[in-house]
């Protein structure tokens, strides 16, 4: 482990408020922090809690920075979910990580393996109060399908630095939706690489930063196999002083990745003054034979003209904002793999809007 303590000048850290991380990027000890994990799944799905040394050979995790390396070295007990080959899990696997205090740093590790031609939905729910560094591995077998919803539903004081690393097998499908609503600082880095041709990865995100919140999503898609597809769609809203959203979309198309089809988009809706968006798409193409490779990034004000038009029809300011926001997030939220979560997320977004107006 040879990662230096970041200073904030590095490309990868320049947007992150290091001073608010409570040493998580440095040397904060992990032994006192506590995260309560729980997992619920179909009887056919194995859920285990291996100790640090016993993480089974399914794990191929390779830390990419100091925080994930320290977390990987320091967690005590992982949560390991395994869906056997050929099984279609009838219920979503629910994994919850709940923090009880943000005072001490904590580390966690989660491994989700889906066997060949199996299919599963996994919901990760982060909640409570914590200073957490964690890694989540997804290993999607050949022809398998995995849909993940990761809810960052933290209390106001939480700090969370997280890596979600997926390996997508031959002809496999991986859906991942990050929903980041709570917390003081959330920095989530979902990454995808492929273990064979024909893989399909869709990464989506919904976030809403209000006053003082820093919500950062750093995506990395490594097109290292031919004929794979990736789609990235992240949408966020910002309101209130000091609300800060960061979106980094790195896509690398390697020389061997012929026939790649890739597109990434990030859209931000700015509701008030005093907010800041950094949105950086980054596409690196090393082969001439791509099907499609593109990106888009837009950040716009919630137009006063929309609000005036809706209010001129009798609709209150709050309801008008709600209509526009629902329209903005509606499609992404409507596609959540667990429909009941859609209402929960929309209600939470409505709550944040209301708080912002009062």
Minimum distance of another protein from residue 236's CB (angstroms): 14
> Please, which residue, 292 or 313, has the CB nearer to another protein?
313
Rounded Cα gap, residues 182 and 351, in angstroms: 12
Minimum distance of another protein from residue 313's CB (angstroms): 4
> Please, which residue, 136 or 237, has the CB nearer to another protein?
237
Helix (H) or strand (E) holding 308: helix 304-311
Report CA Rg, the chain: 20
Q: Is the CB of residue 269 less than 8 Å from the CB of residue 237?
A: yes
Minimum distance of another protein from residue 304's CB (angstroms): 7
Q: Is the CB of residue 274 less than 8 Å from the CB of residue 306?
A: no
Minimum distance of another protein from residue 319's CB (angstroms): 6
Written as one string, the DSSP assignment of 133-180 is EEEEEEEE-TT-EEEEEEEEEE-TT-EEEEEEEEEE-TT-EEEEEEEE
> Please, which residue, 278 or 319, has the CB nearer to another protein?
319
Chain centroid, CA 196 distance in Å: 23
Handedness of CA 180, 140, 65, 249 (dihedral sign): negative
> Please, which residue, 255 or 327, has the CB nearer to another protein?
327
Minimum distance of another protein from residue 343's CB (angstroms): 16
SS3 205: strand
Backbone phi and psi for residue 115, each to the nearest 5 degrees, phi listed first: -70, 170
> Please, which residue, 60 or 317, has the CB nearer to another protein?
317
> Please, which residue, 295 or 326, has the CB nearer to another protein?
326
Minimum distance of another protein from residue 321's CB (angstroms): 11
Minimum distance of another protein from residue 308's CB (angstroms): 6
Rounded Cα gap, residues 37 and 136, in angstroms: 13
> Please, which residue, 32 or 311, has the CB nearer to another protein?
311
Minimum distance of another protein from residue 320's CB (angstroms): 8
Q: Is the CB of residue 6 less than 8 Å from the CB of residue 69?
A: no
> Please, which residue, 78 or 325, has the CB nearer to another protein?
325
Rounded Cα gap, residues 69 and 245, in angstroms: 25
Residues near another protein (CB under 8 A): 303-306, 308-317, 319-320, 323-324, 326-328, 330
Rounded Cα gap, residues 150 and 217, in angstroms: 12
Per the listing, tokens 């999503």 go with 217
């Amino acid at each position: 482990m040879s990662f230096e303590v970041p200073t904030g000048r590095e490309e990868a850290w320049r947007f992150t408020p290091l001073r608010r991380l409570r040493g998580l990027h440095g040397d904060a000890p992990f032994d006192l922090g506590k995260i309560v994990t729980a997992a619920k799944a179909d009887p056919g799905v194995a859920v285990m809690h291996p100790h640090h040394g016993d993480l089974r050979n399914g794990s191929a995790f390779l830390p990419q920075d100091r925080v994930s390396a320290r977390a990987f070295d320091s967690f005590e007990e992982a949560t390991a979910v395994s869906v056997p080959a050929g099984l279609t899990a009838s219920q979503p696997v629910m994994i919850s990580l709940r923090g009880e205090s943000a005072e001490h740093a904590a580390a966690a590790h989660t491994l989700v393996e889906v066997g060949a031609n199996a299919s599963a939905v996994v919901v990760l729910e982060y909640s409570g109060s914590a200073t957490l560094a964690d890694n989540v591995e997804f290993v999607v077998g050949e022809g398998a399908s995995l849909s993940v919803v990761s809810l960052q539903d933290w209390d106001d004081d939480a700090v969370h630095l997280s890596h979600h690393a997926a390996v997508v097998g031959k002809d496999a499908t991986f859906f991942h939706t990050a929903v980041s609503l709570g917390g003081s600082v959330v920095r989530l880095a979902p990454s995808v690489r492929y273990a064979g041709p024909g893989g399909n990865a869709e990464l989506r995100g919904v976030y809403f930063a209000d006053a003082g919140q820093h919500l950062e999503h750093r995506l990395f898609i490594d097109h290292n196999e031919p004929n794979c597809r990736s789609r990235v769609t992240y949408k966020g809203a910002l309101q209130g002083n000091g609300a800060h959203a960061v979106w980094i979309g790195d896509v690398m198309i390697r020389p061997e990745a012929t026939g790649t089809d890739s597109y990434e988009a990030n859209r931000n809706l700015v509701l008030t003054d005093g907010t800041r968006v950094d949105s950086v798409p980054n596409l690196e193409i090393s082969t001439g034979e791509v099907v499609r490779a593109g990106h888009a990034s837009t950040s716009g004000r919630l137009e006063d003209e929309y609000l005036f038009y809706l209010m001129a029809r009798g609709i209150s300011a709050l309801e008008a904002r709600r209509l526009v926001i629902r329209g903005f997030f509606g499609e992404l939220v409507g596609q959540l793999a667990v429909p009941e979560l859609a209402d929960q997320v929309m209600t939470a977004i409505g709550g944040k809007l209301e708080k912002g107006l009062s």
